A and B are shown apart, each in its own frame.
Chain A
């Protein structure tokens, strides 16, 4: 099994493009992505967007499932604390993400692979800037091999 450090080394894999799973809350960051598009803001397209009702809906299982399915990075984004459509969903999510991130760091996941942000529906430019930032970080980390299966997937 390759260690997390082995993916590092920009330039070695000129063909490789990061694949990032992005989980966006319907009310804020998904709107921000829309706004960025409507405004014709340019940003790289290395991510697949999954729309969820609230960042509070995001379970650690989903993030692990993304890594297990070959994602090089995961980015979760929701409404700013205090602005949740469901009043408190992102407050609960924040504690959950804090514990999850601590455990990911504890087992040695590269910090560059897991990202969180709060982006409101009015912050199209912030969305585009954060997307560039996330993609640059995952590019730095290189292809993820930690959670890939070494044997055939049997479902």
Chain B
């Protein structure tokens, strides 16, 4: 995986040097060894700051929104799907994007690693092939990346970019995905009262920092419904009802748009399973309409079209 770094730097250097793009959006090493930082380069000589390793989990599509210049961007399967979804909603212009595609084998779950080594702060991480060595103050830990993947990565159905202007490597195979995702199957088995209890419990610790919303590349409304005051759909308090309302509506706004990149869960400081709601909607969209977001630049989003013969069975 690390050898992509050289190809990525070469691509960015070439694109910026030749003036094909005005900026190049990639990742660089930040202060956290398990989570790379976004980098927006504007000069070819900055290309060597780019990296590519299993810490590059954040969704870069977010940074392409609202830019008026020509953008080069490195994209995995989920980033490319987000870009497609954003292009369909006129938030990015496909003709101003130059997508450098990278087949993805999954990104680390930094939150789970933090919980796994409580009280120990990773000082550095070395990524070599399928393994990562994390340096703590009191010694090193060597782990297999594949066993510590972020949750959406474990069942990723689209690890290869769905659209790219150039690819940095050969496509990889998807992980074996169960027909019904494990979490969805567990949820299905619960009674209504148990599902409600689970929902309340899962989101009980939310402090409404809105990091999940801010990290989501598909959340770009100038005024979010949580900030609307006339009418005020969601209270400003930390009342559990307000928190549930926020998560319910946030998830619903992503119905037929979410590409399950996991940016929301990755951003959550309290490790709340934010995808509990969105992944269910994704499963429903696929089961009912055979629809997955962000796969096709020609296909309108799920809720922006209809068929006369759509599901009608619950209408009296």
Contacts and interface: CB of A to CB of B under 8 A. Distances in A.
Interface of A: 1, 3-5, 60-61, 64-65, 68, 81-82, 88, 91-92, 94-96, 98-103, 105-111, 115-118, 130, 133, 146-151, 153-155
A68 B240 CA distance: 12
Given A61-B225, A99-B252, A130 B198 contact: no
A4 B316 CA distance: 23
Interface residues of B, number: 50
B310 A91 contact: yes
A3 B194 CA distance: 9
A107 B248 contact: yes
A94 B314 CA distance: 10
Contacts of B31: none
Given A116-B314, A117-B316, A109 B251 contact: no
Given A4-B192, A4-B196, A106 B280 contact: yes
Contact of A108 (B193, B225, B252): B193
Interface-centre pick from A96, A118, A148 (highest chain B CB count, 10 A): A96
Nearest to B306: A91
Contact of A3 (B197, B231, B248, B316): B197
A4 B193 contact: yes
A116 B304 CA distance: 20
B90 interface: no
Given A107-B248, A151-B237, 4 more contacts: A60-B248, A68-B245, A94-B311, A105-B192
B240 A99 contact: no
Given A106-B187, A149-B239, A95 B310 contact: yes
Nearest to B195: A108
B197 A108 contact: yes
A118 B50 CA distance: 56
B303 A154 contact: no
Lowest 9 A-B CB distances belong to which pairs? Answer: A108-B196, A108-B195, A117-B316, A91-B306, A99-B255, A107-B199, A5-B193, A102-B284, A108-B192
Nearest to A116: B315
14 contacts: A4-B192, A61-B233, A64-B248, A94-B312, A99-B284, A100-B255, A102-B281, A106-B195, A107-B199, A108-B190, A108-B194, A115-B316, A116-B314, A147-B244
Contacts of B315: 94, 116-118
B235 A96 contact: no
A111 B197 CA distance: 16
Contacts, number: 133
Nearest to B198: A108
A95 B303 contact: yes
Given A61-B249, A148-B241, A98 B233 contact: no
A92 B306 contact: yes
A151 B239 contact: yes
A118 B197 CA distance: 33
Contacts of B249: 60-61, 64
A154 B242 CA distance: 11
Interface in B206-252: 225, 231-233, 235-237, 239-242, 244-245, 248-249, 251-252
A150 B232 CA distance: 18
A112 B240 CA distance: 23
Contacts of A133: 316
B308 interface: yes
A138 B93 CA distance: 48
B200 interface: yes
A10 to B, nearest CB: 17
Nearest to A107: B199
Interface-centre pick from B195, B307, B311 (highest chain A CB count, 10 A): B195
